[in-house]
Amino acid sequence: MSQAAIAYTQPAYSAAAQQALARKPQLFIGGEWVDSSHGALIDVEDPSTGKVIARTADASDKDIDRAVAAARAAFDDGRWSAMPPMERERIMIRLADLLEAHAEELAELEAIDNGKPKGMAMAVDIPGAASEIRYMAGWAGKLGGETPSPYALPQGAMFGYTLREPVGVCAQIVPWNFPLLMACQKIAPALAAGCTLVLKPAEQTPLTALRLADLVAQAGFPAGVINIVTGLGETAGDRLVRHPDVDKVAFTGSTDVGKTISRNAADTMKRLTLELGGKSPVIVMPDVDVKEASKGAASAIFFNSGQVCVAGSRLYAHRSIFDSVLEGVAAVAPRWAPRPSLDPAAQMGPLVSGEQLDRVMGYIEAGKRAGASVVTGGDSPTSDGYYVNPTVLADVNPQMSVVREEIFGPVVVAQRFDDLDEVAKAANDTCYGLGAGVWTRDISVMHKLVGKIKSGTVWGNCHTVVDPALPFGGYKQSGLGREQGRQGIEPYLETKTVFLKL
């Protein structure tokens, strides 16, 4: 599909959105909106138009120190951790209610800031953010230790038990692809465990995090429990990661930055969880309904313009159906043609930034130079926004950068296979291990592939399904630890063992 330039006109913003864009650039620290210690600002763009629409504060070292001090004080005096868990749960649920009550406005801000269609944000991001908080709120009152019987000690001489305690002050650093959802996925387990936190949104997408701060104040969290600071990763983020008064870092973003953070957090032995990149395979077996599987494979890569850590970016179709799967994906690609995020017909928006556009187009060009052929897309419509057409590349080989590296755009590479072991080996031939999709009606083949694939999540006949009750995270270089579910709250808890001589 090579699409001529179309008129990309972003509809007007609502009054509520305009008000949010006009807010004074400030930081949310200690329950108050405060000015930064220096005047530096960061431009915020609408990726649908490429226009600067707002400015946010670029937190200085002093600002970060102030935010950490606020979180430290709020943790140390127990204003949150010592509150009855029932109260903590109640306040968290109030926040979830407020997110839902403001869904329309938050979805619009997400669309303006990130470029995703407002309808997608309404269906996925905002309800997802609220349900992360709702689910974790329930854990606040269900944590506790154990009373194991000693094994090598005389019975009755010693009483041993464990306590679970909140880990302390958390630094939470999130990316731009699902700004509010990622922010809520991070803050929810920390709050349920009784921790306090400093959240730093991505420089490109601060708008919903700032509105979240307003709602935090309304929900009744004590001052200093949740602090939200806008700023750059290399300065504000780095300061948080190295700060001696921060006990735990939780990060979602690129694998490269994850490695840097891992090194920088080591000096103070901070607790660390990392949700990093991926290059997730989608495997299509010969017994499927080809039309349905092709549609699924297209959604797996084009959803959120491919800016999804679990995007199905490597398509493996059985040799006997390879051509028809490719035809099927190409046939639905026009439905994913990029449009401005507030256009009600939009299914896919632009990429988040000019930098991301250059990066994605750079990969497509490198693929072509290395011999890949373009089945559909491969180009960027002429516009001031950051649009890329949904792209399928074939005639690729496992050495090409388009096959090995995370592109983070609407670009899928398609390869053939003949048998199960071969495709499992190909699927695992990556430094990543975040997600994988398997399409088959054969339950035995499904279970065999589930067992062979090295990734944190495997989807059968679907893709990108997540739920707050089920753990999410990566094998290999896709991350460290798990978020969501019971496992997602563990990294926010220390275990204290107590021995009492009787």
Q: Which of 407, 322, 400 is nearest to 362 (CA)?
A: 407
CA distance 95 to 150: 43
CA dist 483 and 460 (Å) reads 21
Q: Give the nearest distance from C-beta 445 to ligand NAP in angstroms.
A: 29
Distance set, CA 134 to CA 91, 143, 165, 182, 444 (Å): 10, 16, 21, 15, 36
In the region spanning residues 219 to 238, those forming contacts with ligand NAP, defined by CB under 6 A, are 232-234, 237-238
Q: Which amino acid is at 397?
A: N
Please indicate whether residue 483 is annotated as part of the active site: no
Is 127 a binding residue for ligand NAP by CB under 6 A? The answer is no
275 classed as catalytic: yes
Tell me how far, at minimum, the Cβ of 314 lies from ligand NAP, in Å.
15
Residue 276 or 489 having the CB closest to ligand NAP: 276
Tokens 């689910």 label which residue? 135
| Site track 203-242 with Mg ion (rule: CB under 5 A), x = hit | ------------------------------x---------
Answer yes or no whether residue 200 interacts with ligand NAP by CB under 6 A: yes
* Residue with Cβ nearer ligand NAP (378 or 409): 409
Cα torsion 460, 461, 462, 468 to 10°: value is -30
Task: For residue 166, give the 3-state DSSP assignment.
Answer: strand
> If binding is defined by CB under 6 A, does position 242 make contact with ligand NAP?
no
Q: Min. distance of Cβ 363 from ligand NAP in angstroms? A: 10
Bridge partners, 393 (sequence order):
374, 413
Q: Judge whether 359 and 408 are in contact, CB under 8 Å.
A: yes
- Set 275, 406, 483, 490: catalytic member: 275
What do you get for the CA distance between the two ends of the chain, in Å?
A: 77
Q: Does 241 bind ligand NAP (CB under 6 A)?
A: yes
Choose from ligand NAP, Mg ion, none: what does 309 bind? Cβ within 5-8 Å by kind: ligand NAP
Segments of 35-142 assigned E as strands = 41-46, 51-57
Residue 202 contact, options ligand NAP, Mg ion, none, Cβ 5-8 Å cut-off depending on partner type? ligand NAP
What letter does residue 414 receive in the DSSP assignment?
Answer: E
As measured in angstroms, the least distance from the Cβ of 386 to Mg ion is 16
Residues serving a catalytic function are 275, 309
Residues at the contact surface with ligand NAP, assessed by CB under 6 A: 173-177, 200, 202-203, 232-234, 237-238, 241, 252-254, 257, 260-261, 276-277, 309, 356, 359, 406, 408
